[in-house]
Amino acid sequence: MNVPKPNWRALSLLAVLLPLLGAFLWLALTSGPLAPVLVTLVSVEERAIAPALFGVGTVEARYTYRIGPTIAGRVSQVAVQVGERVEAGQRLGEMDPVDLDERLAAQDAALRRAESGVVAARAQVRDAQARRDFASAQVKRYEQLLLARTASEDTAEAKRQEAQIAEAGVALGLANLESAEQDLGRVRAERAALVRQRDTLRLVAPADGLPLGGLVVSRDAEPGSTVVAGQSVVEVVDPASLWVDVRFDQLGAGALRAGLAAQIALRSQPLGALEGRVERVEPRADAITEELLAKVVFADLPDPLPRLGELAEVTVALAPRPAAPAVPNAALHRRADALGVWVLDDGEPSFVPLTIGARDLDGWVEIRSGLTPGATVIWHSQAPLSPGRRVKVVEQLPGVAP
Amino acid sequence: MISLAGRDILHGWGKFVFTGIGLGLLIGVTLSMAGIYRGMVDDAEVLLDNSGADLWAVQKDTLGPYAEPSNLADDLYRSLQTLPGVARAANVTYLTMQVRPLTDAASVGDAAARERRAMVVGVVPGGFGEPGQPESLVAGRHLTRGHYEAVADVSTGFRLGERLRIRRHAYRVVGLTRRTVSSGGDPMIFIPLKDAQDAQFLKDNDAIVAQRRRSAANPAFNRPGQPQVLDAVLAAQTQSNSVNAILVSLTPDADPDRVAADIRRWKHLSVYTRAEMNEILQAKLIATSARQIFMFLVILSVVSAAIVAFIIYTLTLGKIREIAVLKLIGTRNRTIAGMILQQAIGLGLIGFIVGKTVATLWAPVFPKYVLLLPGDAARGFLIVVIICVLASLVAIRAALRVDPAEAIGG
């Protein structure tokens, strides 16, 4: 038997065909439905979950003073500009008094007239008293003369009558005086009322409640424009009372309490977190948007002040929970109404139902029961898993840049 | 026994192999076209799979949310949740738009180059396995915050930790998914529902300012003496409480048709079961484009089959002189026929292997999903073999009719 000569043609043909066949088989096994699903693993860690709540809100002032007239009128002067700081009680502007000043002048004249009336009435009283004194002296004298029979009964009677008239004159004078005094009181009161009215036309900052002074945030009417009663001309806020009106999703926000520490990130400075504190959780939640409302105050007011209405992201740290087994939330799946994770059992995935507890914003979920620390679970997978599916464990899934 | 076919192939194997590779590329194109068609259908199915819903509740008398626009009030889901048979109900919004990474001014060109068309899906964050949530991630984590986080499909090209811009807000990519696409094949980006509602109805800042000015100029809104009316109107104009659909998942023992009938009757919404939704997507949404591709696939298959047949036929006719010599030296017809048949099938095999290999290799390069099904491959293989056999039969007939005299004549 002779050894067949190596057939170079056959060998070179095989050299072309075999790699082709190899590539075909390799591709058939590594892609398509026969290929294993690539997965990454993570081990269940014992860690203290620090749950936190994330909400979005706007910077607002707790105390806003809308300062405007109490009666309709025309603005005559606005003394402050937006952004100015004002002190408590400072005059901010004035309404046009229309005829108030003239009426005040008229009241002044009326007052002086009433005062003169009182003086005149007093003089009248004195005049009447003098007449009465003289008349009663005359009566006494004529009565003695009558006793001495040097005057007639008629004359004495006439003197008595004069005395009675003089007495009535005094009473009249006193009554006139009383009337004049009352008149003076009325005129005074009327003038005081006008002065008070005049004062309400002055627009002033609130007298108390502004520990750091006020900040003018808007100037809603310019001199010459007409405003109705209650409409604001100048709006002043208390800058010491700035807070963030935050909305938290109701989902999982049950532990939100007043007094919790909060981090406030203003939209204008997204990287600089400010310290804050939950001042209060509103007793009324928003039923439409399904959010809880809370007010978060700044620990220290930043300088410059955050702008009113600026968007702020607020993260409230809830009380950390004791260390417990935890997995990343990407490992959790729902399968036939049960929540659980996939574990590698003899190289094949199998589903382990769990009960879960708290979760934090970094994606860690506390496991109440179902797994112990140190167990390995499937973290990320290239495709949805099913029991018995071929899987291959890799460090990182393809297509995911580090 | 000496294999005549093998001998002949070895004699001119270069020609044989390269013809096979040429055929293979043609078969590869045909298989890819089948893959494109399958991928299109699969995109629609995967959209339904990923939504994790058993029922879709949408605006009455619409085919929403994928095939037609649909708008619902966002508190309606509560009334669905209480229905018997309903396990979970979740709001969802869909909005297809251009998304680009958020960058500094220096790399604006780069950001524009990486801009992707994506379907922005608004989901309720925090619930695991809730309808609408991406089922499995390839990196990162699910949404945990109620605002400004995103989970993006890998094919968008966004990376973990990157920030992207949707309307006026910046979102941080915290997780990546794979094969989460819209029925049109656009990758999905999941963002929290509240942000998505804003993004869907929020106008740009210029439009808002212009709208404010318009409202202020309208005496009906800006009444003298009642300045608060304008504020109220402006506030009402910038709010949105709409969602596109409510995804409902049922308890294991519930009958989808029955629950759907309940919702239709008592909640006055249109409801679609999984089968109906599949029908809407397949028969209405992607029907024409899928049929277009399918038509092209049919033509391509016919043309490929014809070309394969011609090649085998001409390959045989090219050897007509050698066959005449074989006949002259008294080779049996069976042997000649076998040779031609074996060569044809060999050519078909090489072609199929090359075709399947190149189709698998270039499938991931396609911008849209190409799904190469093993069933399609098996069918393709069968068709290739049958065409080879048929073509070789014609060639055999020609070969057997050749006059041995031609070997010496001519």
- Structural domain span for residue A269: 52-61+240-317
Chain A: closest CA distance from residue B215 (Å): 18
- Structural domain span for residue B335: 4-43+288-408
Q: Specify if B249 maps to a domain.
A: yes
Q: For A330, which of B140, B241, B374 is closest by C-beta distance?
A: B140
A362 & A372 share domain: yes
B14 & B88 share domain: no
Q: Specify if A232 maps to a domain.
A: yes
Q: What is the 3-state secondary structure (H, E, C) of chain B?
A: CCCHHHHHHHHCHHHHHHHHHHHHHHHHHHHHHHHHHHHHHHHHHHHHHHHCCCEEEECCCCCCCCCCCCCEECCHHHHHHCCCCEEEEEEEEEEEEEEEECCCHHHHHHHHHCCEEEEEEEECCCCCCCCCCCCCEEEECCCCCCCCEEEEEHHHCCCCCCEEEECCEEEEEEEEECCCECCCCCEEEEEEHHHHHHHHHCCCHHHHHHHHHHHHHCCCCCCCCCHHHHHHHHHHHCCCCEECEEEEEECCCCCHHHHHHHHHHHHCCEEEEHHHHHHHHHHHHCHHHHHHHHHHHHHHHHHHHHHHHHHHHHHHHCCHHHHHHHHHCCCCHHHHHHHHHHHHHHHHHHHHHHHHHHHHHHHHHCCCCCCCCHHHHHHHHHHHHHHHHHHHHHHHHHHHCCCCHHHHCC
Asked if the Cβ–Cβ distance from A54 to B75 is below 8 Å, we say no
Closest C-alpha among A24, A25, A10, A7 to residue B16: A10
A106 & A195 share domain: yes
B23 & B143 share domain: no
Number of domains making up chain A:
4
Task: Tell which of A261, A295, A317 closes a domain.
Answer: A317
Q: Which CATH number goes with the domain that contains A226? A: 2.40.50.100
Q: Which CATH number goes with the domain that contains A245? A: 2.40.30.170
Q: For A24, which of B11, B140, B357 is closest by C-beta distance?
A: B357
B255 & B332 share domain: no
More confident residue, A308 or B15: A308
Neighbours of A212 (CB within 10 A): 12
Q: For B142, which of A56, A252, A329 is closest by C-beta distance?
A: A329
pTM of the model: 0.79
More confident residue, A289 or A322: A322
Q: For A397, which of B127, B130, B138 is closest by C-beta distance?
A: B138
Average of per-residue pLDDT across A80-86 = 92
Asked if the Cβ–Cβ distance from B353 to A288 is below 8 Å, we say no
B102 & B29 share domain: no
Q: Specify if B104 maps to a domain.
A: yes
Asked if the Cβ–Cβ distance from A381 to B136 is below 8 Å, we say yes
Asked if the Cβ–Cβ distance from A329 to B179 is below 8 Å, we say no
Asked if the Cβ–Cβ distance from A13 to B9 is below 8 Å, we say yes
All residues at 6 or more sequence positions from A2 whose CB lies less than 8 Å from its CB, including other chains: none
pLDDT of residue A76: 93
Q: Which two tokens stand for residue B216?
A: 């202020």
Residue B246's DSSP bridge partners are B57, B91
Q: Specify if A27 maps to a domain.
A: no
Strands B116-123 and B188-192: parallel
B259 & B160 share domain: yes
A143 & A206 share domain: no
CA–CA gap between residue B371 and residue A32 (Å, rounded): 8
A225 & A143 share domain: no
B147 & B102 share domain: yes
Q: Specify if A91 maps to a domain.
A: yes
Percent of chain A with pLDDT over 70: 97
Q: Specify if A26 maps to a domain.
A: no
B30 & B123 share domain: no
B20 & B147 share domain: no
B15 & B107 share domain: no
Q: Specify if B142 maps to a domain.
A: yes
Q: Specify if B235 maps to a domain.
A: no
Find which of A16, A58, A218, A378 to mutate to test the B interface (most B CBs within 10 Å of its CB): A16
Q: Specify if B246 maps to a domain.
A: yes
The backbone torsions φ and ψ at residue A229, rounded to the nearest 5 degrees and listed phi first, read -60, 130
Q: Specify if A220 maps to a domain.
A: yes
Please list every residue in chain A whose beta carbon sits closer than 8 Å to the beta carbon of residue B356.
Answer: 24, 27-28
Asked if the Cβ–Cβ distance from B144 to A17 is below 8 Å, we say no
Q: Specify if A1 maps to a domain.
A: no
Asked if the Cβ–Cβ distance from A339 to B128 is below 8 Å, we say yes
A380 & A259 share domain: no
The backbone torsions φ and ψ at residue A219, rounded to the nearest 5 degrees and listed phi first, read -125, 100
A279 & A394 share domain: no
Q: Which two tokens stand for residue A101?
A: 């000043």
Q: For B353, which of A10, A20, A337 is closest by C-beta distance?
A: A20
pLDDT, tens digit, 9 for 90 and up, residues A18-45? 888 888 888 877 776 677 888 999 999 8
Number of domains making up chain B:
2
Please list every residue in chain B whose beta carbon sits closer than 8 Å to the beta carbon of residue A288.
Answer: 75, 241
pLDDT of residue A237: 92
CA–CA gap between residue A118 and residue A176 (Å, rounded): 8
Please list every residue in chain A whose beta carbon sits closer than 8 Å to the beta carbon of residue B124.
Answer: 251
Task: Tell which of A200, A223, A253 closes a domain.
Answer: A200
Asked if the Cβ–Cβ distance from A384 to B87 is below 8 Å, we say no
Q: Specify if B344 maps to a domain.
A: yes
pLDDT of residue A61: 92
pLDDT of residue A1: 44
Please list every residue in chain A whose beta carbon sits closer than 8 Å to the beta carbon of residue B144.
Answer: 54, 329, 359-363
Residue A357's DSSP bridge partners are none
What CA dihedral angle connects A132, A135, A139 and A141, to 10 degrees?
Answer: 120
Q: Specify if B225 maps to a domain.
A: no
Q: Specify if B39 maps to a domain.
A: yes
Asked if the Cβ–Cβ distance from A16 to B17 is below 8 Å, we say yes
Q: Which CATH number goes with the domain that contains A43? A: 2.40.420.20
Ranges of residues in chain B with a pLDDT under 50 are 1
Find which of A248, A292, A334, A341 to mutate to test the B interface (most B CBs within 10 Å of its CB): A334
A212 & A327 share domain: no
A110 & A147 share domain: yes
CA–CA gap between residue B44 and residue B48 (Å, rounded): 7
pLDDT, tens digit, 9 for 90 and up, residues A161-200? 999 999 999 999 999 999 999 999 999 999 999 999 898 8
| CB pairs < 8 Å spanning A and B | 137
A292 & A208 share domain: no
Closest C-alpha among B177, B165, B210 to residue B46: B177
Which residue is closest to A37 within chain B, CA to CA? Answer: B138
Which residue is closest to A73 within chain B, CA to CA? Answer: B225
B100 & B34 share domain: no
Task: Tell which of A220, A236, A252 closes a domain.
Answer: A236
Cα B104 vs. chain centroid, distance in angstroms? 34
A368 & A327 share domain: yes
Find which of A9, A58, A310 to mutate to test the B interface (most B CBs within 10 Å of its CB): A9
CA–CA gap between residue A189 and residue A251 (Å, rounded): 63
CA–CA gap between residue A170 and residue A164 (Å, rounded): 10
CA–CA gap between residue B60 and residue B91 (Å, rounded): 16
A248 & A232 share domain: no
Q: Specify if A21 maps to a domain.
A: no
Asked if the Cβ–Cβ distance from A13 to B75 is below 8 Å, we say no
Q: Specify if A291 maps to a domain.
A: yes
Q: For A32, which of B128, B354, B374 is closest by C-beta distance?
A: B374
A108 & A188 share domain: yes
B138 & B25 share domain: no
B309 & B257 share domain: no
Find which of A8, A31, A34, A54 to mutate to test the B interface (most B CBs within 10 Å of its CB): A54
Asked if the Cβ–Cβ distance from A382 to B138 is below 8 Å, we say yes
